[in-house]
Amino acid sequence: MDENADGQWYAVRCVFHDDAGEPTVYEERITIWRAGSFDEAIALAEADAAGYTDGISFTYSGLAQAFRLFDEPGHGAEVYSLMRDSDLPPGEYLARFFDTGDERQGAVG
């Protein structure tokens, strides 16, 4: 679908990995697409993922998750949401899924 055509905006998260060194590096990449359905948005993102890995050592893992945006993309618009059920309390949940100590991130401020 043409990006100016009618359709909904979707954010699609694709996961990549680089096995070239130890440890394996994983990348989660979120792109946005105007599409007529979840399937179409994922197909667009997966085609993009194939091109994204050309010439680099990363490989597309085959995992794509899509979210239909409720608002037009813009300042402060929600572009991705994933809900997960867990019996873990908040601190343990964050430590398990978001703060393993191996993230490549820095402090702000």
Residue 106 in any domain: the answer is: no
Residue 102 in any domain: the answer is: no
Cα–Cα distance, 64 to 49 (Å, whole number):
10
Q: Read off the pTM.
A: 0.80
Residue 74 tokens, joined: 């813009």
Residue 24 tokens, joined: 């394996």
Domain that holds residue 42: 8-71+78-97
Residue 109 in any domain: the answer is: no
Residue 54 in any domain: the answer is: yes
CB 40 within 8 A of CB 13: no
Strand partners, 10: 33, 68
Q: pLDDT by residue (tens digit) across 21-38?
A: 788 888 999 999 999 999
Domain count, the chain: 1
Residue 27 in any domain: the answer is: yes
Sign of CA dihedral 4, 61, 53, 23: positive
Residue 89 sits in a domain whose CATH number is 3.30.1280
Residue 86 has a CB neighbour count (10 Å cut-off) of: 10
Residue 2 in any domain: the answer is: no
pLDDT at 20 over 60: yes
Residue 24 in any domain: the answer is: yes
